[in-house]
Structure 1
């Protein structure tokens, strides 16, 4: 997932925080009520803001890719690159996550502007795939990269996860979330996994965990379970000093030998969008945190056959 996508998402989150449906509580069951105005009541000022913001960010991201990200890379005839097995698929989870967020934010920004649900689904909920596709094409034009059908598939999955749920349920019953914790491998990689905290977020896939989070009350129906309490299943991987196999040497120094392995996790979580307070600021803040997994105790089963428990997993 390109860094520019994170920049885009961070900016658009400020718009989307105003555009989500109202959430009401009734007997510990959360109900989403679509109280936005009909199509005839489109708020032109808001719509202009959304269109201008998305256009500026998209054009900015394209300029960033051309003049910064691919700077120094040689243009080549269009080529393909099969990276499906790269980084034990953590990269693909990241692509799906980026597409899910962009679709989520694009849809809610249009609903905030008064656009009807149907048109918001068509033009907003597909935004993740639409924005990511040109980037994948650009990859095919530069040496060292390449067009990846795996990336396209992951982008399509992320967008579909949002769009199908919103179409069928008028809400996201399963939310796609992300958590990050700096891994010990970054200190051993001689800069290969990033030299700064921000660089490690983008380059150290060992610190990435992707989650699917659902309200526990939908699984165990009980008035004693608050609607905001969720159960989450997560995926991560560790021991990675390279895309397909580990490097043994980088930047003039050796890298210790490690075993690459997958991690499957089970944890609890909080659905921030279902927490209501009397503070308008907190309500907006919680809405904007929909994509973040809260640190909680967790259990892990990994591909090395190990079973682990965590007092607090980030």
Structure 2
């Protein structure tokens, strides 16, 4: 399996986040990608850098004004004499207007962000755009005949909505991969998100579309981030009615219940008659993850890879979460190795 990765991910670093009431160093840090890269090098995988995609390709899934905001945000911040992490201090919540984007950078930041845990630093745009290009390149490789490809994306992407960022995510890498597959001739694409946290951004982007199925197995939003989306009664709308499936699970869920949810998810993919599969691959379901609460162990990740391969579809795997940094490489390598063996 070919691995697409950009060294530009390191430009998004040294940020701080507001995590459960405390300002702390960001859990989403460069070491995550480096541990994965090292584990995959040791496993003998080949790496390629992403292709150059025009910024306008992002507009296929993101609001152009939102993309323009992200690409200029830190420069505008510096124009006001500031530096370091950008975090919002206000949001257009209930009773406030949501139909106007404030001209000032502080108001604009609050308009486009949905949490105070996703810092923008000087190199964020470079890293986020490179991450998106990794995902689109992996999709292009699959469209050109590879049975599968993996995008080692950082920062992650599945929380980024059409016009909003949060959850460490700026551009929705998995949605961009799915759209690339659609644009290259796959009529029906399924997105099966196995990250601990609900893929709210992906759901938002494809909510009203019938050509992309979105399925997410995740911690229940009753107690888990992002809290306000990911419930089982969200089924899509308009032409997308019935094309969204959420499988929320309680804190402490172990392999037996989680694997049963995976069976349900794969059955939905088969019933949709998907022609290609995108897997937002979060390994924060691991029992030692510091900001998640499932109980999957190291031996379960190869089992996930084998089950995904058994779907028999051209597949793009896109890196999402996983914050137990030293274990993340082993767990990702476990998924990819078993996928290759199963697909072979």
TM-score normalised according to structure 2 size: 0.29
Q: Which structure dedicates a bigger proportion of its chain to strand?
A: 1
**Max Rg structure:** 1
Q: Identify the structure with the greater helix proportion.
A: 1
